[in-house]
Amino acid sequence: MSTEITTDVVVIGAGPCGLFAAFELGLLDIKSHFIDILDRPGGQCAELYPEKPIYDIPAFPVVTGQQLTDNLMAQIAPFSPEFHFSRMVNSLEKLPDGSFRLTTDADEIFHAKVVVIAAGGGSFQPKRPPVAEIEQYENKSVFYAVRKMDDFRDQDVVIVGGGDSALDWTLNLQPIVRSLTLVHRRDAFKAAPASVNKMKELVMEGKIQFMLGQIAKLDGKDGQIDHVHLTTDAGDLSVPATRLLPFFGLTMKLGPVADWGLELNDNTIVVDTENFETSVPGIFAIGDINHYPGKLKLILSGFHEAALMAQAAKKIISPDERVVFQYTTSSTKLQKKLGVA
Amino acid sequence: MKIHVTDQAGENHELEGLEGWRVMEVIRDWGLNIKAECGGALSCATCHVYVDGEWMDRVGAPSDEEEDMLDSVGDVKSNSRLSCQILMNEELDGLRVTLAPSAAKD
Ligand SMILES: Cc1cc2nc3c(=O)[nH]c(=O)nc-3n(C[C@H](O)[C@H](O)[C@H](O)COP(=O)(O)OP(=O)(O)OC[C@H]3O[C@@H](n4cnc5c(N)ncnc54)[C@H](O)[C@@H]3O)c2cc1C
Ligand code: FES
């Protein structure tokens, strides 16, 4: 059965720009729900550069991608936005009464008066290894994440990669599989040293195999693989396998956003700079995903866009309410909302 | 200053390389099939190229951080490099590279 959620605003994308929108909306008493395909907030900052320093956030001489995300989460906490992670927004349609209906791949339906698209460079999706016809095996015998451990019980599993996901799942799955082969292109790993040591112990004990190489080809039929062919320095070889888990990290894809009937400009959504509304009234686009003359893809720009968007969203959500412009420094009303007065 | 780029379809392109620019930027600005998602910040590996054998020495070896990033593509060869980590200079006039399948846009 699908879950139905009704709210003022749905924000698609919990990157820095989307997150700050929860603050600007919250000051105007607007409740927001967030949907993101990642399993945590922060968008590019959390996924692509959590440890790298950012130097151009006003009043922060230096802040890392993860620190910025953590600070934004703390700043918006008083407004209790609700997060729905690990799901992708598939469809967005306008209903006759002017409100919106969104569906996700987790079988949820959201009803909202306003939609804010803060989808950045697109939705994060697993990188596919460049292997012919891999698509036909995906979600049947080739998986990019472990959702149910039981899918791997008593299977011949091949895991590819040298990062934390590859090593963590090697250690977690080893006790329940029939056989496990870890494949990595070199003998150095990006994963936590403790996991690497544990993996090496398992190899010594003969409980798993480690192979230096890369996957070249898959054999199988009807979505079920039976062998994985590897290219190794010692030559080509084939390993019996009923499950393959490639862990090459994530890449951004525009995805379904392109199909929602909005005016686009080369993979970005055209907006009006007065309020960052798209070509469909009630749908706004802020942050890296939008386009207007002079647009700079900076976090700073997305923050500014969020503030103007919120004012316009308020007029749609509460058309009869007069909004008085106030500063957080001097307004006790705003301070009460923030829980500081 | 020239660079010669073979794209994923096997077509050759002669591009004007600018001193101090990253090879990735030159390839991207000429509109070839390179994703370069992170814009050169060594965070995506979608600017992966194979450097022609005779240029390997002049291009130099990848840093440890670049090697780590190369782990996130499945088509690495011994002459793999991330083109955002190669800066154009006089020494590299005539450089030959081939775009890896994993550098392609969606
Ligand atoms: C290495 C690197 C360094 C950078 N350094 C700086 C810097 O110093 N200063 C600066 O200002 N900027 C910097 N940037 C750019 C900055 O990260 C972006 O401008 C910023 O992340 C844009 O934020 P956003 O909220 O618009 O989108 P994003 O951060 O891209 O977040 C969008 C989110 O939406 C989700 N999403 C998209 N579509 C869907 C869907 N259909 N369903 C569910 N979820 C979806 C994505 O999964 C993602 O989590 C840097 C970028 C990189 C890669
Ligand atoms: S452009 Fe991202 S690593 Fe080179």
- B65 at the A interface (CB within 8 A)? no
Considering CB atoms only, which of A162, A215, A253 is closest to B71? A162
Minimum mean pLDDT range among A11-15, A164-168, B65-69, B102-106 = B102-106
Pick from B44, B70, B73, B105 the residue to mutate for probing ligand 2's pocket: most ligand atoms within 8 Å of its CB: B44
Q: Which two tokens stand for residue A116?
A: 């804010």
List beta partners, residue B13: B5
Which percentage of chain A shows pLDDT scores above 70? 100
Spatial separation of the C-alpha atoms in residues A268 and A288, rounded to whole Å: 8
The mean pLDDT value of chain A amounts to: 96
Does pLDDT of B86 surpass 90? yes
Backbone angles phi, psi at A216, to 5 degrees: -115, -35
Does pLDDT of A219 surpass 80? yes
Does pLDDT of A127 surpass 90? yes
Give A131's pLDDT tier (boundaries 50, 70, 90): very high
Q: Which two tokens stand for residue B44?
A: 């995506």
Which percentage of chain B shows pLDDT scores above 70? 100
Nearest to B97 by CA among B106, B84, B105: B84
Please name the residues in contact with A335: beta carbons below 8 A apart, sequence gap of 6 or more: A328, A341
Please name the residues in contact with A15: beta carbons below 8 A apart, sequence gap of 6 or more: A36, A41, A42, A43, A44, A45, A118, A120, A287, A288, A302
Q: Whose CA is nearest to atom 35 of ligand 1?
A: A13
Q: Chain A partners of B45 at a C-beta cutoff of 8 Å?
A: 249
Radius of gyration of chain A (CA): 23
Give A323's pLDDT tier (boundaries 50, 70, 90): confident
Distance from CA of A127 to the nearest CA of B (A): 8
Does pLDDT of A341 surpass 90? no
Alpha helices in A255-298 (DSSP H): none
Half-sphere exposure of B36 (CA within 13 A, CB side): 23
Spatial separation of the C-alpha atoms in residues A264 and A285, rounded to whole Å: 11
Share in percent of chain A as helix, strand, coil (round to 5): 30, 30, 40
Q: Are strands A108-117 and A123-126 parallel, antiparallel or unpaired?
A: unpaired
Please report where in the chains the tokens 């590897």 appear, as a residue: A230
Spatial separation of the C-alpha atoms in residues A267 and B28, rounded to whole Å: 16
Give A233's pLDDT tier (boundaries 50, 70, 90): confident
Q: Chain A partners of B99 at a C-beta cutoff of 8 Å?
A: none
User: If you average pLDDT over residues A276-288, what whole number do you get?
Assistant: 98
pLDDT on residue A130 = 87
Does pLDDT of A102 surpass 90? yes
What are the pLDDT digits (tens) for A81-94? 999 999 999 999 99
Does pLDDT of A1 surpass 80? no
pLDDT on residue A324 = 87
DSSP label at A15? S
Spatial separation of the C-alpha atoms in residues A57 and A123, rounded to whole Å: 24
Exposure letters A305-315 (e unless 16+ CB within 10 A, then b): bbbbbbebbbe
| ipTM for the complex shown | 0.91
User: If you average pLDDT over residues A162-189, what whole number do you get?
Assistant: 97
Q: How far does Cα B61 stand from its chain's mean position?
A: 13
pLDDT on residue B9 = 97
User: If you average pLDDT over residues A185-198, what whole number do you get?
Assistant: 96
Cβ–Cβ of A251/B44 closer than 8 Å? yes
Distance from CA of A222 to the nearest CA of B (A): 24
What are the pLDDT digits (tens) for B32-59? 999 999 999 999 999 999 999 999 999 9
Q: Which atom of ligand 1 is nearest to the CA of A38?
A: 47
What are the pLDDT digits (tens) for A45-59? 999 999 999 999 999
